[in-house]
Amino acid sequence: MKTIKMLGILGMVTVLGIGLATRLTAAEAAKGTLDNLQAAYNGESNAKARYDAFSAKADAEGYKSVAALFRATSRSESIHAAKHAVAIRKLGAEPKAVIEKSDVKSTKENLEAALKGETYEKESMYPDFIKQAEIDKNSGAVMSFKGALAAEVEHARLFAQALKELDSWKEAGKEFYVCTVCGFTMAKIMPKCPVCASPKSKFDVIK
Ligand SMILES: [Fe+2]
Ligand SMILES: [Fe+2]
């Protein structure tokens, strides 16, 4: 009898425990995407500041086309930050960024640092954030993260190319196109944005 009673109590505790655990997990998941949006907003805001500083350094060192690339990627990151901010406000929070002092070195080193940052974002950060936002069924966050991921892939490719051909990027003349709707960055003009399909009239030309 005692054993049956004990099992009954244990059973109830287990059921309550599972119920509580399920509720906590759901709450934690919702908080997960908000935290991820804030981390992405902070990251993009800092990337923008860093690329502005790297662009000034590239200009000072005479790498005119590298300076243009940093200006274009800075514009792109500011668009991503603004889109993440919209998704944060939809969850009832205010976007927060702490802008750190940019660690400006030589243009070659700045390109290497930028490539490292973009590689982390495209290979690890945004894929993880997208998975969590899908679990949380936050379609706005999924869209915002996917738009940023597509651009970071291209940023990494362009930084790697600039590093490889650094001497020939001294000359001015390279132009970049940034879709003002999603932030995608192009080295060649396209009739429409390959990510969000906006027409080329929505592109900023950056040189
Ligand atoms: Fe980027
Ligand atoms: Fe776009």
Q: Is residue 67 part of a domain?
A: yes
Report which bound ligand comes closest to the CA of 143. Answer: 2
- What residues pack around ion ligand 2 (CB closer than 5 A)? 179, 181-182, 184, 193, 195-196, 198
Q: By percentage, how much of the chain surpasses pLDDT 70?
A: 85
Tens of pLDDT, residue by residue over 77-101, are 999 999 999 999 999 999 999 999 9
Scored b (16 or more CB within 10 A) or e, 133-171 reads beebebebbbbbbbbbbbbbbbbbebbbebbeeeeebee
What residues make up the domain containing 91? 30-206
Q: What is the CA radius of gyration of the chain?
A: 22
The reply to whether 57 falls in a domain is yes
Query: Which amino acid, residue 158?
Result: L
114: pLDDT strictly greater than 70: yes
pTM of the model: 0.85
The runs of H, that is alpha helices, within 62-96 are: 64-90
Ligand 1 centroid to 120 CA: how many Å? 10
CA distance 92 to 78: 21
Number of domains present in the structure of the chain: 1
Of 175, 200, 166, which is closest to residue 63 (Cα–Cα)? 166
CATH number for position 166:
1.20.1260.10
Tens of pLDDT, residues 122-135: 999 999 999 999 99
